[in-house]
Structure 1
Amino acid sequence: MEQQNYYLKLNVALEALIDRWYAWSHLVSPATAAMNIKERHLKIMQSYIKSPKTHAAAVKRPEMLGGPFIDYEGGRVDEIKDLYEDTIVKRKKMLELYESIHELNTMLQKNAIGYSLDPLYKEVPESLQGMVELYYDLNNRPNFRFFESLLYNSEFYDESTQSVSLQLVDADDARSFVLSTPRLDDENLIHLDIRFKDALIDELFRMKRTPGSYTDIMKKLNVKPEQEELFKSFFTTEAPKKYERYTGSGIRTRYFGHACVLVETSETSILVDPVISYDGYETDVNRYTINDLPEEIDYVLITHNHQDHVLLETLLQLRHSIKQIVVPSSGKGDVQDPSLKLMFNAIGFDNVIELDDMETITLDRCTITGLPFIGEHSDIDIRSKLCYHVELHNKFRVLFAADSCNVEPKVYERIHQLVGDIDVLFLGMECDGAPLSWLYGPLMFEKLPREMDQSRRLAGCDYKQGEALVDIFSPKNVFVYAMGLEPWLVFISSLKYTDESKPIVESNRLVDECRSRGIDAERLFGEKTIEY
């Protein structure tokens, strides 16, 4: 084996981990990480240690999918207890950060009553002094913002908590839900103590297309001797199929599942919200994988800062292929809206462009414009979200609306006056949506009453809202996407639908309505290629 060049198998998955929990952007950014460690991780582990059977029963119930329940069948309690205790010790600084953030907020709510805030800087908790600005909003309510880059350069950003795991996945990719179950040791997993920004990740995943030395990469990754046989099983001498570059004079779009779409011309490739499935096994659901992507991707567009749209598992594997990554600008230091640019910089992406509403990137025969994205964030002040208007060949226009919920059509009526009609609309219609607390609960300073929590949803467009977008932009093609329908996405989205589920019913109505108007429409699933 040492004398031959080997390829990494196409169904080798990478999980980026922090404290052995599946990493997403809020676990990288220091302030949101502190809140999630305290209010999500420790509470879930504490609950499991106290009542593992309750968790075991809950994960078997479909209606509890995505809930705060550890998926180890009621076992491995001692290992969860060890992880809990390790977290208390190793993440002492982050728990102090959590307490300091709450102390700062309490102090402001009590003492900032409309007078100058200057005297209150000396009341800021010592660990946060020099890293925050105090302010009033125009309703005279006090708040604070972080100088977030300083947080990343403080003791609160600890790369030693980062690691990655490697595993072979099968057709349904049936992993435990990412927000609820930490990744313990397993005979089928290889955990590697390397940081997310480490170029070894790029070297390893280049081998899915370019053969390399199995022995060299094994030594560089410090694979344990007892896991060498498992590591060998991740490699093959069989070359993958070659990517067929698009050479036509028009445009090709490829749907990869969920909100991931590749747009190509003969000159340019644009990949939106990368969520790439795996290949190398028999499956009932056709899917595109990494070998259906160009070896160099000109632009990756990120629509918003949720774990199913900023998937580090995919992005780290593709990092060596990405020329530029475009992200929405954030709220500049608000706890609930950490900077995507700073997060990506911290984990090894040095090619990040921030875009604001109605700001445009101009390329040769291609423009990318960020459009306002409204709704879907539980009415919290979050700015790091954009729809994207992509114009190709100075005539063909595609709008990626992702999970934007058209609660105020007049916004898009005004936008239409500037950008005109479009050719293709990609629209998310997961219109049930989880309540605010499901994702943002750990960041809230006070727990909301249940009725308020349930009313503020992480929801996309329903039929009426989608129809209004169609009326405004007059697309020739409408594709419903970002529904989490694909079976390999359940571990990220926790969604499973029936024919009676509201998102299915509402999206069926929109598709039928579009077709009745002569508009080509479809709810996407698995894979789809369209050439224009």
Structure 2
Amino acid sequence: MYNSNQIKDTDLVYIKPNLAIEALVDNWYAWAHLISPATAAMNIRGRHLKIINSYIQNPKIHASAVKTPKMLGGPFIDYEGKRVDEIKELKENTLEQCTDLLEMCTAIDDLNELLKNEAKGYSLNSLYDKIPEVLKGYVELFYDLNNNPSFRIYEPLLYNSKYYKESLQSFNLFLITDDDSRSFVLSTPKLANEEILQIKLPLKSPKIDDLFEMADHPKKYGYIKSIFDLTPQQEALFQTFFTTEAPSTYKKYMGEGILTRYFGHASIFVETKETTILVDPVISYGYESDISRFTYADLPEAVDYLLITHNHQDHVLFETLLRIRHKVKNIVVPKSNSGALQDPSLKLMLRQIGFKNIIELEEMETLTFKDCSITGIPFLGEHSDLDVRSKLCHLVTFKDGYKMMFAADSCNIQPRIYEKIHEIVGDIDMIFLGMECEGAPLTWIYGPLMSYQLERDKDASRRLAGCDFEQSKALIDIFNPKTVFIYAMGMEPWLKYISSIKYTDESKPIVESNRVLEYCKAKNIDSERLFGEKIIEYKQEILMA
């Protein structure tokens, strides 16, 4: 099928601009809740095995559902009702390899039941002996100040136990040629095919960096081939991932101002003469398309600071993070809730998969460096009223006093908080404002972590949603920006496989964001709903490209 004579071992080669890496855990697309052991266990039981069992029982229902637009993002496997035997084999392998993780799920259920029935406001000391054996040594019991019992997990201990299974990790390499061919990743396991090369290595492997350094610096094909244990058939496919054609050279910004590029969704790259900052990277690959966009080729060889706003799969995307890991000098993440099941530590997670120099930032804490500073701003809502702390907006202040805020999916449900913040930081010149204001219900992400089923009407009321018009208007009125960019809408078609979003003119986020644009126009505020790509250069004033 493949011409193995195109590239010689002695040839200097680059990776092709459309080479993708899909991180996997137990052959499912890896996201943050599949790395931390406790959340991984709960998702394997409460998401993967449920979907697999449903597919085995009635594959035709799944085949029909994935073709229905309103079912996008639902728990349906996208294999046209076929490959049932392979799905059955995946189930058997999961049950065999994840026995102890599934036991942990049962233990978490039992611990919740124990606390519900026996923690009545008296000392919890006597309950430690009743903790399920699987969890003994890994949890602390406590009451909140209203005498509600709960527990925290010693996450570092779990990462150093049998429950952190690097043996389940692998990654796929393949070439992407369009925006539409990928299935929704949280519902469809990754089965092998002739165009995908699956490599059985842990995600921390430096071989990943060795490979993706070749986006900018060529290496001999014989060398890169030698570090992976490939069969002859695999090598024939592997060779198609490379080219002898050099990429275009990145031109560093040398102006006296600030150059900002929108890469799609919530991905913003900010560059001054001295510093580069990348926010929530979810980046498209280089291939022919009718929609103009920035790609990996539009990133420099080094990123000084990579900022993560919150721990959802469209903001912490391993597919992008692993591809650029070798470029990143520092990662700034919000500090987590120290052991809450629903709030795994980003710092611990990223360290486990090979990242270094991870800086935790807290609310109203500031990092200062050469020509700008980064302040963590409280991030409200969007997490279905759960106690999740690993979420921050970022305020970047440049040496001339110009201020830029990345609000991501924060939902301004309590403007008084931002009024208090304004008293400290003052007006903000440019705001990037997330307006995906419809959002999925709580259980779409957090359902597998819950030991008790939530009633449907309560679930529907607790949304993963950003600002609507009134909430956006209040934020604008508080901070008096000169420019407002609406972003983080999941509109770009190359994001559908992780967001499952497809809007019409009548969709609430479009209607509400149109109202914001009209409001800004009436107040003489420059505004735009971003899509595809955008370049903004600030000198003495904002120049809209």
Q: Name the TM-score class by shorter chain.
A: over 0.9
Match 1:126 to one of 118, 133, 155: 133
Task: Say yes or no: does 1:445 pair with 2:429.
Answer: no
Residue matched to 1:282: 288
1:151-162 to 2 correspondence within 5 Å? 151-162=158-169
Find the residue that maps to 1:83 and give its secondary structure: helix
Match 2:428 to one of 419, 422, 447: 422
Residue matched to 1:413: 419
Paired with 1:221 and 1:408, the residues of 2 have a C-alpha distance of: 52
Deviation at 1:174, TM superposition (A): 2.5
1:178-257 to 2 correspondence within 5 Å? 178-257=185-264
Residue matched to 2:501: 495
Paired with 2:180 and 2:168, the residues of 1 have a C-alpha distance of: 26
Task: Say yes or no: does 1:79 pair with 2:112.
Answer: no
Range with greater deviation from structure 2 (172-181 or 262-271): 172-181
Residue matched to 1:336: 342
Find the residue that maps to 2:215 and give its secondary structure: coil
Find the residue that maps to 1:17 and give its secondary structure: strand
Deviation at 1:393, TM superposition (A): 1.7
Match 2:95 to one of 68, 80, 88: 88
1:34-49 to 2 correspondence within 5 Å? 34-49=41-56
Residue matched to 1:505: 511
In structure 1, list runs of 5 or more residues that go unmatched: none
TM-score between both structures, scaled by the size of structure 1? 0.99
In structure 2, list runs of 5 or more residues that go unmatched: 1-7, 539-545
1:92-491 to 2 correspondence within 5 Å? 92-279=99-286, 281-491=287-497
Contact 1:481 1:523 in 2 (8 A): yes
Contact 1:174 1:490 in 2 (8 A): no
Residue matched to 1:521: 527
1:50-69 to 2 correspondence within 5 Å? 50-69=57-76
1:385-433, Cα deviation, whole Å (9 max, x unpaired): 0000000124110010000000000110100000000111001100110
The percentage of aligned residue pairs carrying the same residue is 61
Contact 1:136 1:143 in 2 (8 A): yes
Deviation at 1:157, TM superposition (A): 0.2
Deviation at 1:229, TM superposition (A): 1.8
Contact 1:15 1:166 in 2 (8 A): yes
Paired with 2:245 and 2:386, the residues of 1 have a C-alpha distance of: 50
Deviation at 1:350, TM superposition (A): 1.9
Range with greater deviation from structure 2 (32-41 or 210-219): 210-219
Find the residue that maps to 1:323 and give its secondary structure: strand
List 4+ stretches of structure 1 deviating above 3 A.
none
1:201 alignment partner AA = I
1:87-139, Cα deviation, whole Å (9 max, x unpaired): 00000111011111111111111111111111111111112111111000111
Contact 1:174 1:488 in 2 (8 A): no
Paired with 2:322 and 2:129, the residues of 1 have a C-alpha distance of: 41
Match 1:10 to one of 9, 17, 37: 17
Contact 1:376 1:458 in 2 (8 A): yes
Find the residue that maps to 1:505 and give its secondary structure: helix
TM-score between both structures, scaled by the size of structure 2? 0.97
Paired with 2:371 and 2:216, the residues of 1 have a C-alpha distance of: 30
Paired with 1:213 and 1:501, the residues of 2 have a C-alpha distance of: 51
Find the residue that maps to 1:308 and give its secondary structure: coil
CA RMSD of aligned residues (A): 0.8
1:476 alignment partner AA = K
Paired with 1:260 and 1:365, the residues of 2 have a C-alpha distance of: 21
Paired with 2:188 and 2:178, the residues of 1 have a C-alpha distance of: 21
Deviation at 1:365, TM superposition (A): 2.1
Find the residue that maps to 2:204 and give its secondary structure: coil
Deviation at 1:173, TM superposition (A): 4.8
